[in-house]
Structure 1
């Protein structure tokens, strides 16, 4: 996949980044370099390789998943400017 200057301009606009017209060729080239690196990564054979959390083998600490401080609905809703039927009431955002 190759990124041209028009596509680089569209990406910059979507990202809300102002890019001067004379900088578009360099931006397109940088995007193409990034995509080339991603293509190289897809060629790596990872068959049989386990996902890692860290570079050193270690087990994550685990705890029991249990409610430790619940049942305070009234106290939490006391801070709400508008609460109805046990929930926070918020103004409609999307018409």
Structure 2
């Protein structure tokens, strides 16, 4: 059973650049202890015969087949545009760009 100290919590907080109060150091030390103990219990149960998994249930790919199909021509794509120039969409300049 590992016990995490207030100094270790303070060190972790400094590394994460998190300001914590003295009271929070005690609270976080207790909470981190519970987390570490829980992880140790899981490690004890998992054996070499138990394969690692990412999901408790089987996951099935729900994506459709990627089948090429014809797209729009340049003229068709630009036909609904409010403005076009030189075969491209024409949009207003932004961010004060100069011409």
User: Per the shorter chain, which TM-score range?
Assistant: 0.5 to 0.7
Partner Cα separation in structure 2 for residue 47 and residue 58 of structure 1: 26
TM-score under structure 2 length normalisation: 0.50
Distance 1:3 1:53 in 2: 28
2:58 to 48, 56, 59: 56
**How far, CA to CA, are the matches of 2:7 and 2:54 in structure 1?**
39
- The number of equivalent residue pairs is 62
C-alpha displacement at 1:51, in angstroms? 3.5
Unaligned runs of 5+ in 2: 64-99
Counterpart Cα distance in 2 of 1:23 and 1:51: 35
- 1:1-95 matches, within 5 Å, as 1-52=2-53, 54=55, 55-56=57-58
**Residue 6 to residue 53, structure 1, CA distance change in 2 (3 Å):** closer
Max radius of gyration: which structure? 2
Distance change >3 Å, CA 9–CA 44, structure 1 → 2: same
Unpaired runs of 5+ residues, structure 1, are: 62-95
Moved runs in structure 1, 4+ residues, more than 4 A?
none
